Amino acid sequence: MLELQNVTHVYSNGTRALDDVTLSIPKGMYGLLGPNGAGKSTLMRTVATLQTPTSGSISFDGLDILDQPEELRKRLGYLPQDFGVYPRVSAYDMLDHMAVLKGVASSKDRKDTVETLLDQVNLWDVRKKAIAGFSGGMRQRFGIAQALIGNPDLIIVDEPTAGLDPEERNRFLNLLAEIGENVVVILSTHIVEDVADLCPRMAVIVEGSIKLEGAPKELIERSRGSIWAKTIARAELDAYREKYEVISTRLFAGNTIVHIQSDKDPTDGFAAVDGGLEDVYFSTLSATRRPVSAEAA
């Protein structure tokens, strides 16, 4: 279990990247959803002991990782958003080098580790190829391979499917699902479908704060009966934004499909829809960004 209590991080320029974050993350896949700039990467770097929070505490299976970061790193696998490697080195040689850095001293153990991982991420046939020649999906699978060196108990992947084509995305997500059966895997992303497909639990982070947390199915059920849809002309969108709480829009055949949130039937041609995780996510963002009325203030 990964436990974060009241974690806050303020950068030297005064930016509050994390604001009193408290989470309990169990074994399995855990989704961290949020828009770009929400604080996801800052939180992942903090858990990975790459930076120290301004305040708060973080523990993993009873280990205080702020006091003993080196102990956590022995049990950690990390795939950052920007994963750099030596491009002219082969996949096999690069993994072997990383195994050395991870403390796999025996050449036989390294050979067994590297060959097993290359097979697991389906890169065995290109093991001698320079990483510079890999596709985006192949690079991400290589990134997971290096994160798995040493059989980590905690794995962090930050925006892993951004830029992947649908086939590579599915292959990568299937790999993550297999890995996440026995360890804690945190999937940090802004892609709602990735979380919906994989994660039994999730949180939404906006402006450095956790705005929503729970099981996707329960969160979707909670929104049932409050999501309404209508197809309108694109020119009407501003007027509908003035009148309703529009949580999302989508272009379709030259028109715009709007989803709004309302606890009662708005009439006006709207039809109730079974909200999905995307509606839950967008309604959370909408509530966070909604201006505070003068009366409430």
Mean pLDDT of 50-71: 95
Residues 98 and 128 in one domain: yes
pLDDT (0 to 100) of residue 280: 93
Q: Which of 190, 246, 232 is nearest to 36 (CA)?
A: 190
Confidence (pLDDT) at 77: 92
Single residue among 195, 215, 235 that ends a domain in this structure: 215
Give the torsion through C-alpha atoms of 235, 241, 244, 245, to 10 deg. 130
Residue scoring higher pLDDT (292 or 35): 35
- Flag whether 111 is in a domain: yes
Please report, for the domain that includes residue 149, its CATH number: 3.40.50.300
The answer to the question of residue 294 being in a domain is no
Mean pLDDT for the chain overall? 89
In a shared domain, residues 116 and 244: no
Q: Which long-range contacts (CB under 8 A, 24 or more apart) does 69-73 make?
A: 72/154, 73/49
Q: Verify that 172 and 88 share a domain, yes or no.
A: yes
Would you state the pLDDT for residue 291? 54
Query: What is the per-residue pLDDT across 201-234, written as a single tens digit (0 to 9) for each?
Result: 999 999 999 999 999 999 999 888 899 999 999 8
Strand 201-206 relative to strand 2-10, pairing: unpaired
Residue 297 belongs to some domain of the structure: no
Answer yes or no: do 262 and 146 share one domain: no
SS3 state of residue 59: strand
Q: What band does 177 get if pLDDT is binned at 50, 70 and 90?
A: confident
- 18 and 151 co-located in one domain: yes
Strand partners, 271: 229
pLDDT band at 57 (very low <50, low <70, confident <90, very high): very high
Question: For residue 229, with 0-12 CB atoms within 10 Å meaning exposed, 13-18 middle and 19 or more buried, which class applies?
Answer: middle
Domain extent, residue 274, equals 221-289
* Confidence check: pLDDT of 240 > 90: yes
Query: Do 112 and 81 share a structural domain?
Result: yes
Q: Indicate the pTM of the whole model.
A: 0.86
Question: 180 lies in a domain?
Answer: yes
Secondary structure element (H or E) that encloses residue 286, with its range:
helix 277-289
Q: Are residues 98 and 232 in the same domain?
A: no
- Asked whether residue 295 carries a pLDDT value surpassing 50, the answer given is no
173 shares its domain with 249: no
- The pLDDT value given to residue 292: 45
Do 211 and 227 belong to one domain?
Answer: no
Q: What is the per-residue pLDDT for 159? A: 84
Q: What is the pLDDT of residue 294?
A: 35
Domain count, the chain: 2
Per-residue pLDDT band at 13 (split at 50, 70, 90) = very high
